[in-house]
Amino acid sequence: MVVCAAATIFGAAAWTAWSLAPSFCSDPFTDLKKQTPCRSYYDRQGKLLHIERTYDYQWRFDIPLEQISQEAVDVILAAEDARFYDHNGVDLQAVARAAWQNLTSGRIISGASTISMQLVSIARPRKRSFKTKFIQAAEARKMEKLHSKREILTEYLNRIPFGGKIHGIQAAAVYYFGLDAKTLNRAEASLLCGLPQRPNAYRPDRHPEQARKRQKLVLKLMERNGFLKPGMAQEIYENEPLRLRDFRYPSALRSYARPSHRHYFTMARREARNAFDVKCAIDVEFTERIQHALSQHVQQLQGVHDAAAVLIDNRTRQVVSLVGTLDYNDPLNGQVNVATAIRSAGSTLKPFIYLEAFDAGLATMDTIIKDTPIRFGDYAPTNYDGRFNQKLRIAEALSLSLNTPAVRLVAELTPERVIDLFASLRLTAPTDSPDAQTAKKHGLSIALGTMGHSLLNLAQGYAVIPNGGLFTPATFLTTTSTPPEEYERVFTPDACALVTKILSMRRLAGDVSVGIAWKTGTSNGNHDAWCFGYTADYTLGVWFGNKNGRPAAALVGASAAAPALVDIFNAIYRNSAPSPWPDSSVLLPLRPLCAKSGLAATPSCLKQFAGTTLQSIPLRPCDQCGVFAKKAPITILSPQPEHYVADGDGTAKLRLRASISPVLWYVDNDYIGENSPFDKRAFAPGRHVIRAVDPNDTASPASVTFVVTK
């Protein structure tokens, strides 16, 4: 009686423990998700380029159940868990059968592990024991409550070992057969799915006889468990083909593990947020042509050891090529991606400054600007050759890349405005970030690239020009695209057309087969040589230099980087013609300009000519001719030259009023139109300059400077 009672109590306790155990278990899927598969990189046509192993350096791919042949699914069920769909994680019939077999034989010959229990073991490896088996059983039951049979079977097929570092049915199919898992026939599936019991002992590349013996046993199990009709196992074994690859040669997996575009893949992976299928926008053929051109040219430059390039598709803003270095395998610093490194940009920023000046109505290509010695405090910039041209047209100043005219424009626009411009082009940090203070310290010298910028960001900025002034970040993925309506307007199409016209005026040296708008740059001290160029189709940036910053006399943009840019564009258009430039005649109408100043002509301008202007931006009128200066000035009634306090929304609402009407209003060098005196305009905290111009030329312009404080 006592024995019966004790047995009853023990049985009840055991049943209670068995029933409640899953409640105290966590989901094994949380650990499975930490075991990441291989990461695959594809080109813009969807061709696999590179495989990167991640967790435990395994060859493993996550694929849905639909991409696994039904033959493979049937084989794995027959071999590992024929009652998979009939139990809740633990097959009690199999447990009873295994217990009897182990008891009668005197040794463990069967473990009764289900697919769910095996998946738990993969998620949480433990030392084998009865306690481990109990925990696995409890966790398997927990897993079955939280996940469907389909999910569990998919995870299992994607994770089971097939020898060495081969895990999952897809990696095994590729490694042993050179096939996808969805194409496996019954013979191949039975050979593969026999491996997980003893993966390394049954590997067909090392132990073909043992693999075939195991295959025959698996086929018999399929017959026994009703997956095959009687007699079919032998027929499949003898007659169905095994398309094993030639093991004398490396597998396809190995061939995809030696990338030649690692810097590009790093950028793409970062943008894809570490996804495991990375759809890159890379054009491998273009990249090979660029790499070849850079290598050829760097050999001709004494003291120069490295180069980099970025090519952007203007239509999609996709980075179709990025060469971050010439020798990735250099043990010292080969893995440094120069395309993203911050370097002194030299004169490459000047087109953006001229674009801003054009959009502000300050100048056009025919406006006369001084090229004479200047000094702002301790800052006294000179030109690259140390010479000055006194006065010349804006178009020549930009085309010749003169320094003092660019600095004069920055002074007129104000460094703060130029820094805001660079921030909108992602060339500097956002203006409201702590890093923006660094940019402000550079002051006027920011025009000459002293702050430092990357090749990638500069190319991204240049791509704005052939796209009519619209900015969107460049992408390394085909799956990432910004709708055109969400692009940010940085410049007007008019200003972009004008800068393109100027940058196309001088022909590049060499055998140039296409029309290119281009600009070079050389950093102070000959540390970096740059050239940026664009067609209607592509924007290309090229850099030459040394990663350690060592200078070289050969590092001059025009003689080092520009020839390489020519060769690359010629190679890109080897088999095709570039798209034509859009017609800019409407955007750039001819209007009367003063022959003395190159600004909008007034009745006081005795000599005039028809000059190129912007269709949508009124050019400021000439204020240099004598008669103009004798006119009575406009009186600006509001705002006054004083301090204003911002309202609760952080801005000051002020009316723009003048002594005459109408007037053309400019706010901080931006034309805003003919405001009604009853309209108020919001001004953010800071210094502002208001300028009023008489469109009828009866009064001379006037300006007022005021400050808004918080």
Query: Looking at 583, 618, 639, which one is the last position of a domain?
Result: 583
Contacts of 53 (CB under 8 A, 6+ apart): 38, 59, 165, 257
Distance between start and end Cα atoms, the chain: 91
pLDDT class of 3 with cuts at 50, 70, 90: low
> What is the per-residue pLDDT for 13?
58
pLDDT tops 90 at residue 118: yes
pLDDT tops 90 at residue 503: yes
pLDDT tops 60 at residue 105: no
Among the residue ranges 53-62, 227-236, 244-253, 639-648, the one predicted with the least confidence is 639-648
Name the range with the highest mean pLDDT among 383-392, 400-409, 695-704: 400-409
Name the range with the highest mean pLDDT among 230-244, 407-421, 670-684: 230-244
Q: What is the mean pLDDT of residues 563-580?
A: 93
> What is the per-residue pLDDT for 441?
64
- Distance, in Å, from the CA atom of 49 to the CA atom of 57, rounded to the nearest integer, reads 18
- Kindly tell me the sign of the dihedral angle through the C-alpha atoms of 440, 446, 447, 453: negative
Q: What is the mean pLDDT of residues 287-303?
A: 95
CA dihedral 697, 699, 700, 702 (to 10 degrees): -120
Q: What is the mean pLDDT of residues 134-159?
A: 94
Structure tokens at 605: 């301008």
> What is the per-residue pLDDT for 634?
87
Residue 303's CB: how many other CB atoms inside 10 A?
12
* Structural domain harbouring 407: 347-451
pLDDT tops 80 at residue 217: yes
- Distance, in Å, from the CA atom of 328 to the CA atom of 526, rounded to the nearest integer, reads 24
The reply to whether 332 falls in a domain is yes
pLDDT tops 50 at residue 109: no
pLDDT tops 90 at residue 450: no
Residue carrying the six token digits 């481990």: 132
- Distance, in Å, from the CA atom of 590 to the CA atom of 286, rounded to the nearest integer, reads 40
Contacts of 522 (CB under 8 A, 6+ apart): 346, 347, 384, 528, 529, 530, 555, 556, 557, 558
pLDDT class of 657 with cuts at 50, 70, 90: confident
Structure tokens at 10: 């023990």
- Distance, in Å, from the CA atom of 249 to the CA atom of 259, rounded to the nearest integer, reads 19
Residue 569's CB: how many other CB atoms inside 10 A?
26
- Kindly tell me the sign of the dihedral angle through the C-alpha atoms of 295, 300, 306, 312: negative
Among the residue ranges 156-160, 260-264, 377-381, 650-654, the one predicted with the least confidence is 377-381
Q: What is the mean pLDDT of residues 58-86?
A: 94
- Distance, in Å, from the CA atom of 229 to the CA atom of 235, rounded to the nearest integer, reads 11
Q: Counting Cβ atoms within 10 Å, is residue 480 exposed (0-12), middle (13-18) or buried (19+)?
A: middle
The reply to whether 60 falls in a domain is no
Structure tokens at 698: 């009866």
Structure tokens at 121: 């073991």
Higher pLDDT among residues 481 and 530, named by residue:
530
As a residue count, the chain comes to 710
Percent of the chain with pLDDT over 70: 91
If asked whether residues 444 and 456 sit together in one domain, one would say: no
If asked whether residues 395 and 442 sit together in one domain, one would say: yes
Structure tokens at 344: 């002194």
Helix (H, G, I), strand (E, B) or coil at 235: helix
CB 196 within 8 A of CB 160: yes
The reply to whether 269 falls in a domain is no
If asked whether residues 481 and 551 sit together in one domain, one would say: yes
CB 171 within 8 A of CB 199: no
If asked whether residues 699 and 551 sit together in one domain, one would say: no
> What is the per-residue pLDDT for 103?
53
Residue 23's CB: how many other CB atoms inside 10 A?
10
> What is the per-residue pLDDT for 4?
58
Q: What is the CATH number of the domain that holds 443?
A: 3.40.710.10
Q: What is the mean pLDDT of residues 16-36?
A: 84
Q: Give how many domains the chain has, as a whole number.
A: 4
The reply to whether 428 falls in a domain is yes
> What is the per-residue pLDDT for 695?
75
- Distance, in Å, from the CA atom of 688 to the CA atom of 614, rounded to the nearest integer, reads 25
Structure tokens at 216: 């025959």
Query: Looking at 451, 484, 508, which one is the last position of a domain?
Result: 451
Closest by Cα among 474, 521, 434, 526 to 340: 474
Write down the mean pLDDT value for the chain. 88
Name the range with the highest mean pLDDT among 96-100, 184-188, 652-656: 184-188
pLDDT tops 60 at residue 627: no
* Beta-carbon-side half-sphere exposure of residue 482 (alpha carbons within 13 Å): 15
Query: Looking at 550, 583, 616, which one is the last position of a domain?
Result: 583
The reply to whether 256 falls in a domain is no
- Distance, in Å, from the CA atom of 335 to the CA atom of 222, rounded to the nearest integer, reads 52
Residue 126, amino acid: R
- Distance, in Å, from the CA atom of 670 to the CA atom of 89, rounded to the nearest integer, reads 72
If asked whether residues 446 and 511 sit together in one domain, one would say: no
- Distance, in Å, from the CA atom of 624 to the CA atom of 513, rounded to the nearest integer, reads 44
Question: Phi and psi for 171 in degrees, rounded to 5?
Answer: -60, -40
pLDDT tops 70 at residue 104: no
Helix (H, G, I), strand (E, B) or coil at 638: strand
CA dihedral 379, 383, 386, 389 (to 10 degrees): -110
Cis peptide before 662 (omega within 30 of 0): yes
pLDDT class of 492 with cuts at 50, 70, 90: very high
If asked whether residues 287 and 385 sit together in one domain, one would say: no
Q: What is the CATH number of the domain that holds 703?
A: 2.60.40.10
pLDDT class of 642 with cuts at 50, 70, 90: confident
Q: What is the CATH number of the domain that holds 212?
A: 1.10.3810.10
pLDDT class of 148 with cuts at 50, 70, 90: very high
The reply to whether 330 falls in a domain is yes
If asked whether residues 112 and 223 sit together in one domain, one would say: yes
If asked whether residues 122 and 79 sit together in one domain, one would say: yes
Q: Please give, one letter per residue, the 3-state secondary structure of 113-154.
A: CCHHHHHHHHHCCCCCCHHHHHHHHHHHHHHHHHCCHHHHHH
pLDDT tops 90 at residue 111: no
CB 399 within 8 A of CB 506: yes
pLDDT tops 60 at residue 325: yes
pLDDT tops 90 at residue 107: no
- Distance, in Å, from the CA atom of 497 to the CA atom of 465, rounded to the nearest integer, reads 8
pLDDT class of 678 with cuts at 50, 70, 90: low
If asked whether residues 459 and 436 sit together in one domain, one would say: no
pLDDT tops 50 at residue 306: yes
Please tell me the pTM assigned to this model: 0.83
pLDDT tops 70 at residue 248: yes
Q: What is the mean pLDDT of residues 458-477?
A: 97
The reply to whether 596 falls in a domain is no
pLDDT tops 50 at residue 316: yes
The reply to whether 497 falls in a domain is yes
If asked whether residues 309 and 436 sit together in one domain, one would say: no
pLDDT tops 80 at residue 677: no
pLDDT class of 330 with cuts at 50, 70, 90: confident
CB 34 within 8 A of CB 56: no
- Distance, in Å, from the CA atom of 103 to the CA atom of 238, rounded to the nearest integer, reads 37
pLDDT tops 70 at residue 494: yes
In DSSP terms, which residues pair with 48 in a beta bridge? 42
If asked whether residues 299 and 178 sit together in one domain, one would say: no
For residue 288, the 8-state DSSP code is H
If asked whether residues 354 and 334 sit together in one domain, one would say: no
Q: How far is CA 347 from the centre of its chain?
A: 25
CB 54 within 8 A of CB 37: yes
CB 449 within 8 A of CB 348: yes
At CA 543, angle to CA 540 and CA 547, rounded to 5? 145
> What is the per-residue pLDDT for 379?
78
Among the residue ranges 64-78, 154-168, 380-394, 582-596, the one predicted with the least confidence is 380-394
Which stretch of DSSP H or E encloses residue 397?
Answer: helix 394-399
Residue carrying the six token digits 């590729």: 174
